[in-house]
């Protein structure tokens, strides 16, 4: 079928619209009409050609309505509303253990730009292949084919477009606190960088009853929002003796830190302010040289811990977050700003400039 898609080609700062041909869903896939798709920093890295082959259709926070069901798919029917998460095999030890973001085949499935058999679902009108299946979905498009295993069915009465960021930005931050670090009532956490992922972590830390929730960012308006959403203490990034000031809040350091930035200096601060046996979680690699402070880690039993997808299983975690949201206890919709699909280039520019926390494109 013919679709409208925003295609990322080498040398451009934002995707540009093209008419493409989309294959019918193959065995195990769903054909989904995309209603909305969030943009996150991973899309910007991929646009620059650092993560996946170009040309490609990016987009990995898609929500939509099932139109076609591929052979062998069970549990889905046309008309179902779905949130599309990352792709995983469903059968390897980590998938079976409920942590599909560490699927044995996560990298080729999500960043390979094609199915595991090497095929791509997209072609130009001239027949030239365009990479597809970014995070299993490539949802900067009016329609996608995606593995049924990555789709999470949701109540059709819910406002579907608002749910778009749940599958990446929100699950990454909330899952880090709830599922990966397992922050408990009475404990403390410092969160570095309060964009969509960091603010989701702030809200989750309040949800689990953390006593001290410290937010650090360069942007004062984001710190103000962090205070509204649950931060008990906020600091401007780069302020003098930041680690010492955070340690002073508890007298002995915080139980956990969660770093959403790529700054090597922040990686150091995030270990410096940990209490003995504290854990420093991070979601993106440092951009630039950074050596883990081995003596601090050894002398205090401290740990530095990478976290993908919040260590969470989308099929159970996303419905749980939706219930918390409906109860008013997890207001992630506060982070969202909608853009018409036609304004994708402007939305990319706003993300790059830090002018928006969680842009969501509306395809209809």
Residues lying near Zn ion in the complex (CB under 5 A) are found at 40, 42, 88-89, 92, 95, 103, 168
Least distance CB 102 / Zn ion (angstroms): 8
Least Å distance, CB 296 to Zn ion, is 30
Nearer CB in complex with Zn ion: 88/120? 88
Least separation, in Å, of the C-beta of 157 and Zn ion? 26
Separation CA 167–CA 161 (nearest Å): 12
In terms of CB distance, is 42 or 110 closer to Zn ion? Answer: 42
Q: Give the CA-trace dihedral at 49, 53, 58, 61, to 10 degrees.
A: -100
Q: State which residue, 170 or 242, has the beta carbon closest to Zn ion.
A: 170
Spacing of C-alpha 14 from chain mean position: 19
Question: Is 246 in contact with 363 (CB distance < 8 Å)?
Answer: no
| Closest distance of CB 12 from Zn ion, Å | 20
| Helix/strand/coil (H/E/C) assignment for every residue in 57-74 | ECCCEEEEEEEEECCCCC
Quote the least distance from Cβ 137 to Zn ion, whole Å: 11
Contact 271, 247 (CB under 8 A): no
| Dist. CA 259–CA 209, nearest whole Å | 20
User: Residue 25 gets which letter from DSSP?
Assistant: P
Least spacing, CB of residue 103 vs Zn ion, in Å: 3
Give the shortest CB-138-to-Zn ion separation in angstroms. Answer: 13
State the minimum distance, in angstroms, from the CB of residue 234 to Zn ion: 24
Measured from the CB atom, is 88 or 139 closer to Zn ion? 88
CB 189 within 8 A of CB 183: yes
Contact in structure between 66 and 38 (CB atoms under 8 Å): no
Helix and strand element counts for the chain (H, E): 11, 18
Q: Please say whether the beta carbons of 194 and 226 come within 8 A.
A: yes
Residue closer to Zn ion (CB basis): 89 or 297: 89
C-beta closer to Zn ion: residue 31 or 86: 86
Closer to Zn ion at the Cβ: 55 or 195?
195
Which residue bears the tokens 């996946």?
52
* Bond from prior residue into 55 cis (ω within 30 degrees of 0): yes
What six digits make up the tokens of 217? Answer: 């960012």
**How many of the other CB atoms lie within 10 Å of CB of 77?**
10
Instruction: Give min distance, CB of 88 to Zn ion, in A.
Output: 5
Q: CA-to-CA distance for 98 and 321, rounded, in angstroms?
A: 16
Residue whose CB is less far from Zn ion, 168 or 254: 168
Q: Alpha carbon 325 to chain centroid distance?
A: 17
**Of residues 235 and 282, the one with the C-beta less far from Zn ion:** 282
The residue to which tokens 């002018």 are assigned: 355
Pair 302, 296: CB distance under 8 Å: yes
Output the smallest distance, CB 61 to Zn ion, in A.
6
Say how far apart CA 156 and CA 38 lie, in whole Å.
19
């Amino acid at each position: 079928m013919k679709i409208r898609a925003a295609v990322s080609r080498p040398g451009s700062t934002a995707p540009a619209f093209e008419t493409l041909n989309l294959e019918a869903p193959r065995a195990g896939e769903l054909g989904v009409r995309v209603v909305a798709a969030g943009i996150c920093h991973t899309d910007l890295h991929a646009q620059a050609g650092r993560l996946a082959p170009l040309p490609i259709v990016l987009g990995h926070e898609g929500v939509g309505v099932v139109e076609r069901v591929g052979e062998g798919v069970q549990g889905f029917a046309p008309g179902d509303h779905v949130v599309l998460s990352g792709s995983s095999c469903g059968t390897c030890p980590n998938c079976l253990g409920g942590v599909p973001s560490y699927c044995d085949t996560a990298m080729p499935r999500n960043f390979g730009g094609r199915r595991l058999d090497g095929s791509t679902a997209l072609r130009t009108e001239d027949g030239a292949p365009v990479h597809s299946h970014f995070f299993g979905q490539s949802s900067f498009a009016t329609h996608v084919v995606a593995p049924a295993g990555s789709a999470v069915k949701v109540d059709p009465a819910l406002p579907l477009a608002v749910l778009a960021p749940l599958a990446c930005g929100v699950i990454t931050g909330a899952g880090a606190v709830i599922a990966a670090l397992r922050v408990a009532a009475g404990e403390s956490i410092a969160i570095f960088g309060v964009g969509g992922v960091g603010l989701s972590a702030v809200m989750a830390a309040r949800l689990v009853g953390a006593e001290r929730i410290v937010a650090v960012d360069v942007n004062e308006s984001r710190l103000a929002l962090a205070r509204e959403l649950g931060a008990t203490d906020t600091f401007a990034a780069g302020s003098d003796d930041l680690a010492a000031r955070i340690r002073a809040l508890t007298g002995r350091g915080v139980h956990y830190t969660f770093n959403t930035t790529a700054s090597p200096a922040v990686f150091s601060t995030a270990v410096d302010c940990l209490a003995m046996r504290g854990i420093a979680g991070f979601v993106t690699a440092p951009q630039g040289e950074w050596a883990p402070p081995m003596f601090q880690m050894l002398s205090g039993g401290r740990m530095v811990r990478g976290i993908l997808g919040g260590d969470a299983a989308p099929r159970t975690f996303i419905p749980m977050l939706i219930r918390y949201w409906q109860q008013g206890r997890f207001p992630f919709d506060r982070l969202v700003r909608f853009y018409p699909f036609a304004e994708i280039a402007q939305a990319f520019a706003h993300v790059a400039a830090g002018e928006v926390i969680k842009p969501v494109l509306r395809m209809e």
